[in-house]
């Protein structure tokens, strides 16, 4: 790709700013462009999405995901999981401990007393082998070695990103293992439909709908209490669209435990593993919308409660609650909760997941 085409990128990101070598593996930037001319920019370092360029109701194009504009900033981000792939285990495992086949495993503790998002050198901090398949698709592949971050089994993972002509970003995950293990992959996109800016606006006015009658309450260390609770009559009722900010600071034990929303919603499903509607957000000013569809049983909704205004993409600043995350996944701490849907992957089985983020506009 020559510079002339690069400068024509809607996102204004340059490949050379993402090119370095880490442990003998090369990092790069890959731009997916659909027939409408809109873009998604992804680096193979952690599968971090650096830009999603889509229009508002007036045709103005902006970046609606938080990311960085060079590889060093991605690597050293104050938010290590900023719009990255997550594995081997998305979300938290209590005290980083679980038992499999009668053997106890201890993972790194990187979130209070617990293990979070596959540990400090999880999928988000690895260089993936990348293969761009035409203008609209990218495959990232890696083999997560036996014992990586304390997990058992060697896991072979491929994640395909496709940006369709309907402005749908489709993520398809495939994985196999050579030994019984646990897996819970997700992508941690920090979405800001108003567009990244200095400062990026808060998500308080976003209209949000979540297709869940139940959610998973947490203790003060964000570990599930073991209950599955009805959303009815709580700040977690998004069955009808309401502003994210309406109950985000409610006088509610669960809101306090999460410092806002940082909870897994149990998605309404007709059958296990079906691809179905999970959530929708709408930015009232720009008219941009995003719908989420997934095969996963849950979605962790995180209202970016800890950001402190750090810098990112083209000088944008990311303050507290300037993004919302919909991390489609199995439930947190499942290895210690036998009654939650299983996260065990065995040799001869294939892990499959599909999640879609669909962008649109409504006047």
Q: Which of 295, 315, 33, 173 is nearest to 42 (CA)?
A: 33
**Is 188 part of the annotated catalytic residue set?**
yes
Whether the CA torsion 273, 277, 279, 281 is positive or negative: it is positive
d(C-alpha 313, C-alpha 321), whole Å: 17
Element (H, E) at 253: helix 253-258
**Is 327 part of the annotated catalytic residue set?**
yes
Q: Which of 195, 72, 153 is nearest to 349 (CA)?
A: 153
Q: Among 148, 263, 327, 330, which one carries the catalytic annotation?
A: 327
Max CA distance (Å), the chain: 59
The CA-to-CA distance between both ends of the chain, in Å, stands at 37
d(C-alpha 298, C-alpha 62), whole Å: 29
Q: Among 68, 124, 187, 188, which one carries the catalytic annotation?
A: 188
Q: Which of 265, 277, 283 is nearest to 322 (CA)?
A: 283
**Count of other CB atoms within 10 angstroms of residue 27:** 20
Phi (first) and psi of residue 195, to 5 degrees: 100, 145
d(C-alpha 282, C-alpha 266), whole Å: 21
Catalytic residues: 188, 327
């Amino acid at each position: 790709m020559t510079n002339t085409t690069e400068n024509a990128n809607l996102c204004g990101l340059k490949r050379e700013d993402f090119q370095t070598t880490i442990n003998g593996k090369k990092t790069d930037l890959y731009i997916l462009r659909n027939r409408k001319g809109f873009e998604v920019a992804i680096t193979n370092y952690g599968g971090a999405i650096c830009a999603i360029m889509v229009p508002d109701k007036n045709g103005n194009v902006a970046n609606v995901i938080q990311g960085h504009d060079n590889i060093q900033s991605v690597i050293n981000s104050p938010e290590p999981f900023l719009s990255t792939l997550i594995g081997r285990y998305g979300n938290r495992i209590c005290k980083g401990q679980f038992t499999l086949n009668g053997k106890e495993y201890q993972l790194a503790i990187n979130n209070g007393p617990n293990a979070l998002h596959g540990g400090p050198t999880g999928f988000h901090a690895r260089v993936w082998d990348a293969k761009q398949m035409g203008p609209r698709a990218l495959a990232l592949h890696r083999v997560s070695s036996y014992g990586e971050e304390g997990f058992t089994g060697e896991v072979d993972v491929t994640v395909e990103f496709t940006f369709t002509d309907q402005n749908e970003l489709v993520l398809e995950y495939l994985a196999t293992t050579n030994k019984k293990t646990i897996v819970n992959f997700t992508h941690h996109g920090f979405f800001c439909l108003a567009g990244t800016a200095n400062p990026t606006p808060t998500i308080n006015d976003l209209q949000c709908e979540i297709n869940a009658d139940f959610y998973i309450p947490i203790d003060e260390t964000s570990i599930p209490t073991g209950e599955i609770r009805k959303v009815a009559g709580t700040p977690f009722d998004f069955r009808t669209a309401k502003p994210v900010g309406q109950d985000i600071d409610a006088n509610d034990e669960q809101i306090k435990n999460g410092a806002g929303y940082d909870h897994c919603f149990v998605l309404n499903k007709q059958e296990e593993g079906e691809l179905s509607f999970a959530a929708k957000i709408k930015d009232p000013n720009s008219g941009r919308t995003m719908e989420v569809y997934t095969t996963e049983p849950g979605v962790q909704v995180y209202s970016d409660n800890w950001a402190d205004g750090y810098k990112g993409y083209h000088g944008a600043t990311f303050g507290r609650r300037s993004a919302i995350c919909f991390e489609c996944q199995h439930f947190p701490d499942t290895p210690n909760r036998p009654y939650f849907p299983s996260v065990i992957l065995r040799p001869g089985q294939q892990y499959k997941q599909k999640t879609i983020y669909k962008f649109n506009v409504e006047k």
